[in-house]
Amino acid sequence: MKRALVLGVAVVGLVLPAAANAGTFQGVVIAKNAKRKAVVTAAANGTVHTVRAPKSFAKVRVGTLVAVRARQLPDGTFAAAAVKQIRAVKQARVHGTVVKRAGRKLYLSAGDSVFVLGVRGSAGSKVRPGDRVNASAKFGKAQLFCDAVKPIGHDDQLELEGIYLANENGVLSLAVHGRGLVKVSVPDDVELPELKPGDEISLHAKVESDGAFTLVSLDNEDAGGGSTGGDGGVDMGDHVFTVSGVLSSLSSTSVGVQVDGHREPVRCSVPSSVSLTDFAVGEAVEMSCKYADGRFVLAKLSPKMDGEAGGADDSVDVQGSITEINSTAVTVAVQSPEVTSVKQEGKSLVCGLQGGEDLRGFAVGDSVEIECDYSRTLGHYALTGLTSDRAALAYRDDGLTEWFDLDGVLSSIRGDGVGIQVDGHTGPVNCGMPAGTDLSGFALGDNVEIDCTFSDGRWQLASLTSDAAQLTLD
């Protein structure tokens, strides 16, 4: 059997152009991006950085002050050499540009990321797309809530990043931060790169006088070929990528792998000290490459045996709408049949629930992003992530996290909890609360917003708000 070829760090060490910045900085983690394996930090002065940290991503929690040692990549984000957690904090200051306000959520762009803040009352009610703001916020159990939003200027252009959904009649649809829908007009003279629903993209957009967005340039982070500007379409990822496919070319200086969904082979340079004589064109392989000295350089090449885990079918991350929820599984109708990773279910994806998962914050008809891993032991997909505009579930290495923030009518008040009736839900949505909780300001029939988190095997009330009263539990 052939051995996998693994190159030492010294051979493929990261060397970026001289203009790239390296150093250390501190910041509070205000958001995380699973597709980028990145954390978004805000410094004490509000400056935001996007840090690609695949090794630390699962361990770092939102609301933690971290020290980062990193080098800036050509796309403006940072590649972390080390991330050290210092302590949990209760508040943060953020400087960013408004993308949109939707209900009680404010979407901001800063540091090559888009992130969302919860808003209460009239905070941020007068801002519009393109406004530059300073926001002070506090960490709740499930998200970051604005205390105050102060406009400090206006930008004619801003950066957006998120999941590509569709391009219809010259209007590009983008899901920012996995939840917010943003539409960007594409001028006739701008040629888009090849895009597939589910691709992670970043773009620059002009802010029109009416708050609409017009595309200036776009990069597809999930496919290194094609760009309307920027850094030339280089997929920086976390400055390393891995692909599976068939060896299409092989020489002493270059190796090419034909990957499903790519018209051209994915190519990497081969260091002069490396021999690939054990490999042959036509062989199924897995290849990893790092960005070094302005190019992608081979870091690992290994044969891919029949039946090995890996490939598109082992993990899916798609957009769609929920068509069924029961005690064992959730079914999502995928938005586009072009999502090639969803094969066995046609245009729908069925994911089984794992132990402890409770989807009461979701309803049939919800637009969601769903993540599932294929279990060969169980013989089906298992749910690892589900996100809508008002609820989220994430099952990671550090355990299960769930929350929801719903609007409805207060339908029950009990000694141990409350329930609300929500449009689209077949029954009341219930959350527990500590005995003796004072709900004297609320009455059955009130229109309320309820915020709940899942812990210790049950849903716990985090806050309850009506026009006349507000309750927040620590």
Across the range 287-315, mean pLDDT stands at 63
Query: Using one digit for the tens of pLDDT, what is the confidence trace for 131-186?
Result: 999 988 888 765 678 878 889 999 999 988 888 878 888 898 888 875 577 899 99
CA distances from 317 to 267, 310, 320, 392, 443 (A): 25, 15, 10, 14, 41
Q: Which of 272, 303, 334 is where one domain is finished? A: 303
Q: Which residue has the higher pLDDT, 2 or 429?
A: 429
Q: Which residue has the higher pLDDT, 5 or 408?
A: 408
Q: Coil, helix or strand for 441?
A: coil
CA distances from 267 to 44, 120, 249, 290 (A): 42, 50, 9, 12
Across the range 309-330, mean pLDDT stands at 73
Residue 246 shares a structural domain with residue 212: no
Residue 22 shares a structural domain with residue 141: yes
Instruction: State residue 130's pLDDT score.
Output: 92
Q: Which residue has the higher pLDDT, 282 or 40?
A: 40
Instruction: State residue 6's pLDDT score.
Output: 55
Nearest to 336 by CA among 163, 89, 142: 163
Selection from 8-12, 82-86, 287-291, 388-392 with the highest mean pLDDT: 82-86
Q: Which of 370, 396, 422 is where one domain is finished? A: 396
Q: Which of 252, 279, 303 is where one domain is finished? A: 303
Query: Using one digit for the tens of pLDDT, what is the confidence trace for 186-210?
Result: 998 888 888 887 788 888 899 998 8
351 has pLDDT over 60: yes
Across the range 379-405, mean pLDDT stands at 81
Distance CA 169, CA 59 (A): 42
pTM of the predicted model as reported, rounded to 2 decimal places? 0.47
Find the domain containing 374 and state its range.
312-396
422 has pLDDT over 70: yes
Residue 56 shares a structural domain with residue 193: yes
Q: What band does 409 get if pLDDT is binned at 50, 70 and 90? A: very high
Backbone angles phi, psi at 61, to 5 degrees: -110, 150
Give the CATH number for residue 381.
2.40.50.320
Instruction: State residue 14's pLDDT score.
Output: 29
Instruction: State residue 474's pLDDT score.
Output: 66
Instruction: State residue 20's pLDDT score.
Output: 36
Residue 4 lies in a domain: no
**DSSP letters spanning 324-366:** EE-SSEEEEEES-TT-TT--TTTTEEEEEPPTT---TT--TT-
Query: Using one digit for the tens of pLDDT, what is the confidence trace for 442-473?
Result: 999 999 999 888 887 889 998 898 888 888 88
18 has pLDDT over 60: no
Question: Which stretches does DSSP call E strand in 227-283?
Answer: 240-250, 254-258, 266-269
Q: What band does 29 get if pLDDT is binned at 50, 70 and 90? A: very high
Residue 329 shares a structural domain with residue 456: no
Query: Using one digit for the tens of pLDDT, what is the confidence trace for 231-275?
Result: 333 334 445 567 777 888 888 888 888 876 566 677 888 888 788
Q: What band does 314 get if pLDDT is binned at 50, 70 and 90? A: low
Q: Which residue has the higher pLDDT, 361 or 373?
A: 361
Count of the separate structural domains present in the chain: 4
Backbone angles phi, psi at 314, to 5 degrees: -85, -20
Residue 84 shares a structural domain with residue 132: yes
Residue 100 lies in a domain: yes
Residue 166 lies in a domain: yes
Across the range 355-379, mean pLDDT stands at 84
Across the range 271-295, mean pLDDT stands at 76
Residue 71 shares a structural domain with residue 48: yes
Instruction: State residue 362's pLDDT score.
Output: 94
When mean pLDDT is compared across 304-308, 320-324, 361-365, the lowest value belongs to: 304-308
Residue 382 shares a structural domain with residue 290: no
Residue 224 lies in a domain: no
**Six-digit token pair at 257?**
């792998």
Give the CATH number for residue 414.
2.40.50.580
Instruction: State residue 72's pLDDT score.
Output: 77
Query: Using one digit for the tens of pLDDT, what is the confidence trace for 41-61?
Result: 999 999 999 998 888 888 888
413 has pLDDT over 80: yes
390 has pLDDT over 60: yes
Distance CA 186, CA 201 (A): 15
Residue 350 lies in a domain: yes
Residue 228 lies in a domain: no
Give the CATH number for residue 249.
2.40.50.140
Query: Using one digit for the tens of pLDDT, what is the confidence trace for 72-97?
Result: 776 778 888 889 999 988 889 999 99
Residue 257 shares a structural domain with residue 214: no
Residue 322 shares a structural domain with residue 205: no
Q: Average pLDDT over the chain, rounded to whole?
A: 79
Instruction: State residue 442's pLDDT score.
Output: 92
Residue 42 shares a structural domain with residue 179: yes
Cα–Cα–Cα angle for 412, 416, 421, rounded to 5 degrees: 25
316 has pLDDT over 60: yes
When mean pLDDT is compared across 65-69, 125-129, 347-351, the lowest value belongs to: 347-351
Amino acid at residue number 405? D
